[in-house]
Structure 1
Amino acid sequence: MLKPSGVGIAITGSGSAAPAEIVDNQKLTQVVDTSDEWISTRTGIRQRRLATNQDSLTALASVAAQKAIAMAGITPSDLDLIILATSTADDLFGTACKIQAELGAHRAVAFDLTAACSGFVFGLVTAAQYIRTGVYQNVLLIGADILSRWVDWSDRGTCVLFGDGAGAVVLQANESDRLLGFELRSDGTQNNCLNLAYQAQPKELVDGVAIGHGTYQPITMNGKEVYRFAVQKVPEVIEKALFRAEITVDQIDWLVLHQANQRILDAVAQRMKIPNDKVISNLALYGNTSAASIPIAIDEAVQEGKIKHGDIIAASGFGAGLSWGAAIFKWGRNEEC
């Protein structure tokens, strides 16, 4: 976490976007054996936004990005770097460059980062390092996913959970560092708990040479294990990030967790003794949008006037990998803005 003296980061803009199509729990009863009560009591989700076959990750991410850039008071040509946190790129080779072209950010380097539902937090820390080392001044970080592409719609244990969307923030060089502390973790021994895995079908290419030729399979998840993991590990990683930030939990203004399940949000807040009125939750309207969930929640809270300049936010992402992390930061450039 070392940085040149006087070089810090500030998060100066946010934006979000979601598909127009809304599918509530009642509509899902036409697809799978479930009910509004079954879904809402177990997850807190009441509806989700789903991309149609005409929608693209590039388009959603670009809309969110344009809003964040406008709020930051810069133009796309001011951007030095674009990081796209996603697990569902339009192109397996990467989608960040397509977004760069769509925005007209001709000066920006662009690349994808894959860390599933932890992607936004991992991307935030990654972006900060480029600024702290003095390499770049203006970075666009996007979290975006279209998980509906990879859901098994006959599996009621997973299909009710996920939605599609995009959120973005702009990070800029700042005299004071507004990223107060962070902690990132991974545990590959639990990788099988949540997967969107490639499954090869053997194909004999030439005599004696069989290659794998297949596609990715729908999402599989051990819900009980993921719940247990999140409730245990998320408070720990937030506490570690708070320690690095040299602040206490009572100084947090807002807790913004990956929007996976309302029971997880409630359990983490209860364990950390954070009042419910400090917990940002919008998963009832969007479901689990993976890397997009934290930036969408932040942007909505900013637009609603909840999050204000100088507020201290504790954000934590967790999910496939398994991976998890937390970042403690102050919103905006300075308290006087």
Structure 2
Amino acid sequence: MNPDIPARAAVLAGLGGWVPDRVVTNDELAARLDTSDHWIRTRTGIGSRRVAAPEDATSDLAVRAGAAALEHSGDPGVDTVLLATVTPDHPCPATAPDVAGRLGLTGAAAFDIGAVCAGFVYALATAAGLIAAGAADRVLVIGADTYSRIIGPDDRGNLAIFGDGAGAVVLRAGEPGEPGALTAFDLGSDGSGRDLITVPAGGSRHPATAAVAGADGHFTMRGREVYRHAVTHLTRSARTSLDAAGVAPAAVDRFVPHQANLRILASVADELGVPPDRLVSNLHEIGNTGAASVPLALADAAAHGELAAGETVLLTAFGGGLAWGSCLLRWPELPPSPRPYLRRSTP
């Protein structure tokens, strides 16, 4: 690197979230499926989830969350839009350019990132690289998914876990070490686990023709095996980021993992040695929202005053692929958050 060129870092400048109005409770699922509120809560920690309206696609959720993040940042302009999603509006083209255009950002670089539930952290790392290289100055990073579109109508397990939503952050170019600067990224994958979380049909391997319509077009997950991999890789990735930054787990003020299920979150916090009261989660209210889960948890916590300037915040996520990623930041002083996107209820 040219020593005459100052180093640049991606710095958090704003955040926002959006979830659909429709609430699907555990009791509603139990009324038509072989399950119960008790069964779902004890296995996942989830009490309800949000489901997008029939007329809403992933781009619609992403636009709402992106607009909230841009407003919170105080500057509506960005030069790059990254959308992490496993449920794009279409297989082709990418959804990000449409989102950018609808936000008034025509001309901005825009592309999708597909790393399933790890997608948002992958998108953060991509944005940080673009900013560090001088290829971007302000980046809107969105995680958005509509799992209700790809889960089978009788899939008791996955219907209980997943919900729809979108979360977003704005990153600006800044200096390494300043509050809000993203650092200590760790990314990884293991393709031998590609069949653990998948939608079998719809790609070039297994085209979604009429002959393979139906179950092969729905999302599948081998829960017990995913649980084991999730705990292992989330813990290992988070620890790698902490070690790279020279931060002890006990020094983590707020731990924000992908909102997979409560058992996984508690196990990872315990394995790391992060006190349970420092875990940030809104899983009970909205379920697992895929690539949206980390930014939604951040936006919710910020809106309710649960993230203070100067706190060390650890992010980590795991998803299909298999793929995982982690990073750290020191929470910056941000403008007051707008009205929370989520009105909390009592667990």
The AA in structure 1 aligned to 2:298 is: I
CA contact (8 A) 1:8 1:173 kept: yes
Deviations 1:279-337 (A, max 9, x none): 00111111110000000000001111111233221111101101111111122369xxx
The answer to whether structure 1 residue 185 and structure 2 residue 188 are counterparts is: yes
Residues 246-285 of structure 1 mapped to structure 2, 5 A cutoff: 246-285=246-285
The structural deviation recorded for 1:176 is 3.0
User: Counterpart of 1:34?
Assistant: 35
CA contact (8 A) 1:318 1:325 kept: yes
- For 2:275 and 2:158, the matched residues in 1 are separated by 29
Deviations 1:232-271 (A, max 9, x none): 1211111111111222212211110110100000111111
The AA in structure 2 aligned to 1:257 is: P
- For 1:19 and 1:107, the matched residues in 2 are separated by 29
Match among 196, 199, 216 for residue 196 of structure 1: 199
The answer to whether structure 1 residue 300 and structure 2 residue 300 are counterparts is: yes
The AA in structure 2 aligned to 1:329 is: L
TM-score, structure 1 as length reference: 0.91
- For 1:332 and 1:86, the matched residues in 2 are separated by 27
The structural deviation recorded for 1:23 is 0.5
The structural deviation recorded for 1:155 is 2.1
User: Counterpart of 1:166?
Assistant: 166
- For 1:48 and 1:298, the matched residues in 2 are separated by 17
Deviations 1:172-195 (A, max 9, x none): 001234122011110010111111
User: Counterpart of 2:90?
Assistant: 91
Residues 19-168 of structure 1 mapped to structure 2, 5 A cutoff: 19-75=20-76, 78-93=77-92, 94-168=94-168
Deviations 1:53-106 (A, max 9, x none): 11121221111111111111101xx21100000010112221111111110012
- Residue correspondences, number: 325
User: Counterpart of 1:207?
Assistant: none
CA contact (8 A) 1:180 1:244 kept: no
The AA in structure 1 aligned to 2:307 is: I
User: Counterpart of 1:311?
Assistant: 311
| 1:239 counterpart SS class | helix
CA contact (8 A) 2:10 2:127 kept: no
Cα distance, 1:333–1:110 mapped onto 2, change above 3 Å: farther
CA contact (8 A) 1:10 1:333 kept: no
Deviations 1:110-137 (A, max 9, x none): 1111000000000000000000111111
> Larger strand proportion, structure 1 or 2?
1
Residues 9-24 of structure 1 mapped to structure 2, 5 A cutoff: 9-24=10-25
The structural deviation recorded for 1:199 is 5.8
Q: Note the residue ranges of structure 2 that are not aligned, 5 or more in a row.
A: 335-347
Residues 317-336 of structure 1 mapped to structure 2, 5 A cutoff: 317-332=317-332
CA contact (8 A) 1:31 1:153 kept: no
Cα distance, 1:112–1:22 mapped onto 2, change above 3 Å: same
CA contact (8 A) 2:250 2:275 kept: no
CA contact (8 A) 1:12 1:331 kept: no
User: Counterpart of 2:338?
Assistant: none
Deviations 1:16-56 (A, max 9, x none): 00111000000001231100000000000000000121112
CA contact (8 A) 2:19 2:165 kept: yes
CA contact (8 A) 1:60 1:165 kept: yes
- For 2:2 and 2:41, the matched residues in 1 are separated by 44
- For 1:153 and 1:276, the matched residues in 2 are separated by 35
TM-score, structure 2 as length reference: 0.89
- For 1:123 and 1:200, the matched residues in 2 are separated by 22
| 1:260 counterpart SS class | coil
The AA in structure 2 aligned to 1:66 is: A
| 1:160 counterpart SS class | helix
User: Counterpart of 1:208?
Assistant: none
- For 1:236 and 1:48, the matched residues in 2 are separated by 29
The AA in structure 2 aligned to 1:300 is: D
The AA in structure 1 aligned to 2:149 is: R
Cα distance, 1:310–1:153 mapped onto 2, change above 3 Å: same
User: Counterpart of 1:205?
Assistant: none
- For 1:6 and 1:128, the matched residues in 2 are separated by 12
CA contact (8 A) 2:18 2:166 kept: yes
The structural deviation recorded for 1:2 is 11
Residue identity over aligned pairs, in percent, reads 39
- For 1:154 and 1:55, the matched residues in 2 are separated by 22
Cα distance, 1:155–1:315 mapped onto 2, change above 3 Å: same
